[in-house]
């Protein structure tokens, strides 16, 4: 029996689940194969978010079917944020160009980051204590609490409007869409919401995607750290083995495969310039205080060259305004 997209994504999804559930995302399915591929078409390129949302033993067949579909439609293919295993398979089997651009940041929630040793853990403890000193506490939202939901939506709107500079993200904020398999947590001070975070169920990993961590402009320093450590604790108490916050960019490209030497050099130079311009390493530096684990995340390009068209499609899929970069 074919599962509904939400059921499939909750069952087989990964840290790209929120992007795959975005209203702008389309689904590719193949009769006889369990799972789906979530993608958007930008600049005539089908841009896929993450590995195929499927059992590991059908991911390759789905990817080959999607490759044929895209080829017959005259569209190229780019994958964003793929795992090391799937990326290597695509590079070896289908000849995709493979670029290690980021790292998935994830946690074993049974390991309390505040109990780690070293300067980073010490900084984390100080930040949490500071938030507690100013009366910040942690709560889980009951979905039926309409008044509090409205308050958190207002907080999210204020946070989104307050962001400055270029933003790079694969999903938009839809706090209370696709509620099955979703939990909401919030921080309060004097009965006022000062922070919110969301957890999305990842059944195949017995874990959760933690995302949309948003703070009120007046939230005390350390509110985010209190919210994250509290979420890890409650998810561990509920039996989770794994919590991911998704992919963050590297400061420079890592492994590169199937690119000619000149294209490889251009990719490395271009990425370094983008990293410096967009301050791409900031997110990784933020998460270091939580003592996470990590593994590589990749961009995959089909047999087309790294053309301006492909790069424009990539920027649009990452919600970077191309007009800011191609004037």
Q: How far is CA 252 from the centre of its chain?
A: 19
* Average model confidence (pLDDT) across the chain: 90
Candidates 53, 19, 25; CA nearest to 205 is 53
Grade residue 277 by pLDDT with cuts at 50, 70 and 90. Answer: confident
Q: How confident is the model at residue 47 (pLDDT cuts 50, 70, 90)?
A: very high
Average pLDDT of the segment spanning 48-77? 96
Q: How many residues does the chain have?
A: 327
pLDDT tens column, 193-204: 999 999 999 999
CB 185 within 8 A of CB 196: yes
Helices 56-72/84-93 angle, 10° precision: 50
Q: How confident is the model at residue 303, as a pLDDT?
A: 74
d(CA 131, CA 153): 22
Contacts of 58 (CB under 8 A, 6+ apart): 33, 34, 35, 52
Please indicate whether residue 165 or residue 289 has the higher confidence score (pLDDT).
289
| Percent of the chain predicted with pLDDT > 70 | 92
pLDDT band at 171, cuts 50/70/90?
low
Confidence of residue 169 (pLDDT cuts 50, 70, 90): low
CA dist 50 and 86 (Å) reads: 9
**pTM (2 d.p.):** 0.90
Q: What is the pLDDT of residues 109-120, one digit of tens each?
A: 999 999 999 999
Summarised one tens digit per residue, pLDDT across range 136-162 is 999 999 888 989 999 999 998 888 777
One-character DSSP codes across 156-225: HHHHHHH--S----SS---TTSS-TTEEEEEEEETTEEEEEEEEEEEGGGTEEEEEEEEE-TTPPTTHHH
User: What mean pLDDT do residues 122-131 have?
Assistant: 97
pLDDT digits (tens, 9 = 90+) for 218-270: 999 999 999 999 999 999 999 999 999 999 999 999 999 999 999 899 989 98
pLDDT, tens only, 173-186? 778 888 899 999 99
| CA atoms in the 13 A half-sphere facing the CB of 148 | 18
| pLDDT surpasses 90 at 26 | yes
Residue 327 pLDDT class (50, 70, 90 cuts) = very low
Three-state secondary-structure class, residue 43: coil
pLDDT of residue 324: 47
CA–CA separation, 117 and 38 (whole Å): 40
CA distance 185 to 141: 6
- Rounded distance between C-alpha atoms, residue 198 and residue 80, angstroms: 22
Q: Is the pLDDT of residue 129 over 80?
A: yes
């Amino acid at each position: 029996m074919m599962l509904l997209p939400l059921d499939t994504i909750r069952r087989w999804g990964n840290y790209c689940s929120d992007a795959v559930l975005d209203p702008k995302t389309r689904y590719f399915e193949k009769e006889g194969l369990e799972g789906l591929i979530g993608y958007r078409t930008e600049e005539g390129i089908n841009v896929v978010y993450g590995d195929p949302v499927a059992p590991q033993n059908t991911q390759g067949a789905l990817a080959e079917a999607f490759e044929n579909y895209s080829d017959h439609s005259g569209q190229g293919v780019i994958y964003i944020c793929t795992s090391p295993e799937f990326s290597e398979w695509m590079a070896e089997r289908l000849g995709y160009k493979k670029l290690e651009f980021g790292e998935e940041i994830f946690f074993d929630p049974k390991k309390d980051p505040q109990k780690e040793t070293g300067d980073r853990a010490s900084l984390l403890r100080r930040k949490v204590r500071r938030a507690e000193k100013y009366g910040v506490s942690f709560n889980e939202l009951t979905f039926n609490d309409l008044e509090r939901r409205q308050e958190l939506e207002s907080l999210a709107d204020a946070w989104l409007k307050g962001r400055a500079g270029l933003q790079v993200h694969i999903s938009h904020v839809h706090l209370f869409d696709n509620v099955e398999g979703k939990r909401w947590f919030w921080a309060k001070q004097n009965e006022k919401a000062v922070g919110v975070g969301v957890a999305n169920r990842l059944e195949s990993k017995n874990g959760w995607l933690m995302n949309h961590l948003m703070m009120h402009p007046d939230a005390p320093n350390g509110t985010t750290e209190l919210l994250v450590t509290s979420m890890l604790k409650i998810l561990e108490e509920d039996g989770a083995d794994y919590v991911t916050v998704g992919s963050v960019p590297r400061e420079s490209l890592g492994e590169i495969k199937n690119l000619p030497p000149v294209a490889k050099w251009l990719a490395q130079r271009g990425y370094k310039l983008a990293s410096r311009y967009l301050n791409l390493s900031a997110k990784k530096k933020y998460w270091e205080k939580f003592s996470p684990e990590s593994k590589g995340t990749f961009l995959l390009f089909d047999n087309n060259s790294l053309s301006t068209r492909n790069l424009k499609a990539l920027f649009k899929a990452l919600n970077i305004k191309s007009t800011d970069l191609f004037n």
